[in-house]
Structure 1
Amino acid sequence: MYDPTRLAALVAVAEAGSITRAAERLGYTPPALSQQLAKLEREAGTPLLVRHHRGTRLTGAGELLLARARRVLDELEQARHELARLAGLSGGKLRVGTFQTAGIHLLPPVLSAFRRAHPDVELTVSDHEPPAGIAAVAAGRVDLALTHGYQPAEPVQLPSAVSAEPVLVEELVLVTAPGHVLAGGSARLPLSELAGQPLISMAPDHPPRQGVEAALARAGATPSVLVPTPGYALVCALVSAGLGVAVVPEMVARTAATPVGTRLLEPGNLRRTISVVHRSDEAAPAADAFRALLRGAFGRASQQN
């Protein structure tokens, strides 16, 4: 019988394209994740992955098992959801914290699914710009919160009794005015090509973005306009008006309200990880049921990237 944890590892590697990115998504170290995958290959009796200089791809056997693994994991998520319903979620409250991007583009369908399953649970949604949602969970002001972190960056130290579960990893991409010379072509743009480009500097003093800002500075991008708070809609509007280029999460680029050109960057190691944080020292059936729905919804969003 295959271990669901190892099946989840296979799915994560298939979606992330490399063991390193999958390990970050799952909260493992790359060696630990490699061990899980090696055990799965021994269970399967055949190689499931081929490693190459740009990452990892699945073998034919790996693709076959991947399809089955997704079905198994979906069934387990459904079982968790149904068990949570049996736990008596017929009242009470669920307080959800979120940041703007996730609140607009990812949270509404999850809230709708939760309301359909548990119509008697009172829902409250509040805005907490990362990393403020972590403090809100620790203080008991919300039951769980969506937050994010960027790579490269210093790891965030979580308060005791607060746990974080990564649910979506996305690349940061270049956005430009429509027709900009850097937006042309389908190949990834080397980061060095940003040298001398006027940059809409995205929250240069914001701790979660400082590592990314440093990487852009090393590449030679020249700050043109500083946006001290993480307002992606404003950044994309300034880019669209031709005031500079910017590097934003892929989800932001896809959903920009103003027209922008986009380009993947090389290397693709500038990323944002969206996580849900919650207290791990107390029973919370409503929060557990909501996190199960989040995993399914964010997993589908990841597959569409």
Structure 2
Amino acid sequence: MYDPTRLAALVAVSEAGSITRAAERLGYTVPALSQQLAKLEREAGAALLVRHHRGTRLTGAGELLVARARRVLDEMDRARHELAQLSGLTGGRLRVGTFTMAGIHLLPPVLSAFRRAHPDVELAVSQYEPPEGVTAVAAGRADLALTHAYEPAEPVQLPATVAAEPVLVEELVLVTAPGHALAAGSGRLPLAELAGQPLISMAPTLPPRRGVEAALAQAGATPAVLVENPGYALVCALVSAGLGVAVVPEMVARTATTPVGMRLLEPGSLRRTISVVYRTGETAPAADTFRALLRGAFGRSVA
């Protein structure tokens, strides 16, 4: 049986004309989307896409499967709407918290799917930079929230009434100015190669990044500019201007608005986990349904 989320990915690629544009639309990283398409091709037992310098086009098998996939996805949308009516999701309000990057690149397709399935539920979205989303959920100001944690880091204790469910794990990667020597190789760059490099640092005093900053310092990277408040767009802009290199989540690197080079690091143990936090011990059909949509959209990327 075909995975519906992979069918949706194939439809998105057919509509966008390239894997890169489809990944941006769906809120995936390009490698994560490519991996899912490869799994779908193995399930189908045939090549579904042909990649060329202008983008991607469907093979004959791909065109056949996309036509069927659209019907399947339409039927699933209808089923979700009918089930929502049975479960009482015909009104009410869902309050969703998110941090900036997830709000731009991950949340929109899930909100769109929820709205299609449950048009009578009022949606409210608020911005909470981690760990503020956890506090908002615990205090009842949000029904659920997207937050993140880094590795390495000290474990964070959640309030007793709040649980966290990972939805996406991504590596931290090196970003450099375009043409920088460290971005030239194709393999992973040993962390020790950062010794002596001027680092755009996310301020070692920031609790979420403290363990990451310590690992970079141990590798010998030399802080050149400290960014005191979270702001990856600013970090990438400083890197692009040649003020230093930085280590950022892969999603940040691939969606940077300023030109940067990118390189995977060795070992790949520097990571960011994006999770959805929610209150336990209460009946919340809208929040439960939204979490299920998150699992369907991004759970396959969890390491």
TM-score, with normalisation over the residues of structure 1? Answer: 0.72
Matches within 5 A, 1:96-175: 96-175=96-175
Task: State the Cα distance separating 1:82 from its structure 2 match.
Answer: 6.4
2:166 and 2:299 in contact (8 A); partners too? no
Task: State the Cα distance separating 1:299 from its structure 2 match.
Answer: 3.4
CA RMSD of aligned residues (A): 2.3
Task: State the Cα distance separating 1:203 from its structure 2 match.
Answer: 3.5
Task: State the Cα distance separating 1:202 from its structure 2 match.
Answer: 1.4
Other-structure match for 1:286: 286
2:84 and 2:90 in contact (8 A); partners too? no
1:81 and 1:292 in contact (8 A); partners too? no
Consecutive unaligned residues in structure 2, runs of 5 or more: 1-38, 45-72
Q: Secondary structure at the match of 2:248?
A: strand
1:201 and 1:226 in contact (8 A); partners too? yes
Other-structure match for 1:241: 241
**Which string of whole-angstrom CA distances, capped at 9 and with x for unpartnered residues, describes residues 236-257 of structure 1?**
0000000000000000000000
Other-structure match for 1:39: none
Task: State the Cα distance separating 1:183 from its structure 2 match.
Answer: 0.3
**Which string of whole-angstrom CA distances, capped at 9 and with x for unpartnered residues, describes residues 82-112 of structure 1?**
6455211010000000001100001001111
**Which string of whole-angstrom CA distances, capped at 9 and with x for unpartnered residues, describes residues 114-139 of structure 1?**
11111111111001000110010000
**Which string of whole-angstrom CA distances, capped at 9 and with x for unpartnered residues, describes residues 40-76 of structure 1?**
xxxxxxxxxxxxxxxxxxxxxxx89x959xxxxx9xx
Consecutive unaligned residues in structure 1, runs of 5 or more: 1-62, 69-73
**Which string of whole-angstrom CA distances, capped at 9 and with x for unpartnered residues, describes residues 245-298 of structure 1?**
000000000000000000000000000000000001110000011111111111
Are residues 1:207 and 2:207 paired? yes
TM-score, with normalisation over the residues of structure 2? Answer: 0.73
- Partners of 2:163 and 2:116 lie apart in 1 by 27
1:200 and 1:244 in contact (8 A); partners too? yes
When residues 175 and 85 of structure 1 are mapped into structure 2, their CA distance, relative to the original with a 3 A threshold, is farther
Other-structure match for 1:44: none
**Which string of whole-angstrom CA distances, capped at 9 and with x for unpartnered residues, describes residues 125-155 of structure 1?**
0010001100100000000000000000011
**Which string of whole-angstrom CA distances, capped at 9 and with x for unpartnered residues, describes residues 190-227 of structure 1?**
00000000000013221110000000000000000000
Report the identity percentage: 80
1:175 and 1:253 in contact (8 A); partners too? yes
1:97 and 1:146 in contact (8 A); partners too? yes
How many residue pairs match? The answer is 233
When residues 67 and 165 of structure 1 are mapped into structure 2, their CA distance, relative to the original with a 3 A threshold, is farther
Matches within 5 A, 1:1-305: 83-299=83-299, 302=301
1:195 and 1:219 in contact (8 A); partners too? yes
When residues 192 and 85 of structure 1 are mapped into structure 2, their CA distance, relative to the original with a 3 A threshold, is farther
1:81 and 1:289 in contact (8 A); partners too? no
- Partners of 1:85 and 1:172 lie apart in 2 by 42
- Partners of 2:146 and 2:208 lie apart in 1 by 14
When residues 161 and 256 of structure 1 are mapped into structure 2, their CA distance, relative to the original with a 3 A threshold, is same
1:84 and 1:288 in contact (8 A); partners too? no
2:84 and 2:118 in contact (8 A); partners too? no
